Amino acid sequence: MRNKGYGYVILSVAIGLLTTCVSKEHTVLKLAHGLDPSHPVHRAMVFMAERVHENSGGKLEVEIYPSEQLGSEQQCVELLQIGSLAMTKVSAAILEGFTDNYKVLGLPYIFRSKEHSFNVLDGEIGQEFLNSTEKFWIKGLCFYDAGSRSFYTLKKPVETPADLSGLKIRVMKSQTAMQLVSAMGGSPTPVSWGELYTALQSGVVDGAENNPPSFYTSRHYEVCKFYSINEHTMVPDVLIISTKVWNRLTAEEQQWLSDAIRESVEVERKYWAESEAEALEKVIEAGVEINYPDKGPFEERVQQLYDTYKSEPEIYSLIQRIKAVH
């Protein structure tokens, strides 16, 4: 039997040899993630890489490896922390494991609208989040729009929280995501993104929750024929870089990269809106039944999650600050 630990070490060394190639005239950063190349976030990162090349006249390059080519989301984060991978994209929910404040972004209905979420994430509060993981060798670079997450299921639509009773719903490895599904009456079941299609197909889980482009590009619509747009969370994606790698870049290289990333955020939001509309159209064509349940009962069921943070002054204050943003 193959030694998985040994294989992981070999992978780490191999990536380490390739990740950040630095010479006096040329630096190459490796960016790995788990998304499909057709996904709007991947496309935005491709745009970013092209702008980095243009900004630097080819002196700085970003090479992108999608579809878990260099490992799972968790593996990419671990490789990034030791400096063997330069950059990766994660859901903000994953960063809860490093700083409790990130739990707030996964709270249901924390954002009143997409515009409200942008105003929060583009401002002072968003920058505080990005800076909060640096002591763990992770530097946040930007937030990408990941839309609103809603439930999709195998056998019946979710019209009210009661419809979740008895259903095993796949969630990310996130305490907040698990608490959310539990509060709504479902049974939260952590499953890695790469294994989710098989888990749905085999009935290991009865459903999942995600945004329309991810539902479509993952082909989960082939097995889940009910999509209930209750939009319980707007958890953004986060582009992160190893502080070990960032600190090796010159001030000029950091600026080239930062400028390109800032441009890519606006481009990604445009890509996202287009992709969301297309995804819903495509899954309907594939026979998915889409319904738009009343959000009120769902909001009522999760109010208890907010109440639990009254005993944590720092997080509860952060919640109030986010709600106060116009």
Break the chain down into helix, strand, coil percent, rounded to 5.
Answer: 55, 20, 30
Query: Quick one: 4-99+111-145+235-277 is in which CATH superfamily?
Result: Bacterial extracellular solute-binding protein, family 7 (3.40.190.170)
Q: 305 with 108: CB under 8 angstroms? A: yes
Higher pLDDT, 110 or 36: 110
- Please give the CATH architecture assigned to the domain spanning 149-234+283-324: 3-Layer(aba) Sandwich (3.40)
Q: Is the pLDDT of residue 298 over 50?
A: yes
Q: What percent of the chain has pLDDT over 70?
A: 93
CB-side neighbour CA atoms (13 Å) of 263: 16
Can you give the C-alpha Rg of the chain in angstroms? 20
Higher pLDDT, 4 or 236: 236
Please state whether 52 falls in left (phi above 0), alpha (psi between -120 and 50) or beta. Answer: alpha
Q: At what angle do helices 175-184 and 296-308 cross, to 10 degrees?
A: 130
Confidence (pTM): 0.84
Averaged pLDDT for residues 171-182: 91
d(CA 210, CA 145): 13
Average pLDDT, the chain: 92
The β-bridge relationship of strands 237-242 and 87-91 is: antiparallel
Highest mean pLDDT among 68-72, 150-154, 301-305: 150-154
Residue 160 carries which DSSP code? S
Stretch(es) of the chain classified as CATH 3.40.190.170: 4-99+111-145+235-277, 149-234+283-324
Q: 178 with 168: CB under 8 angstroms? A: no
- Can you tell me which residue has the tokens 């989710």? 196
* 3-state SS assignment for residue 83: coil
pLDDT, position 52 = 98
d(CA 48, CA 237): 15
Q: 194 pLDDT band (50/70/90 cuts)?
A: confident
Q: 24 pLDDT band (50/70/90 cuts)?
A: low
2 exposed, middle or buried (CB, 10 Å; 0-12, 13-18, 19+)?
exposed
Q: 156 with 125: CB under 8 angstroms? A: no
Q: List, in sequence order, every beta strand (DSSP E) within 124-220.
A: 138-144, 149-153, 168-171, 187-190, 207-210
Number of Cβ atoms within 10 Å of the Cβ of 249: 19
Q: Is the pLDDT of residue 1 over 60?
A: no
Q: Is the pLDDT of residue 267 over 60?
A: yes
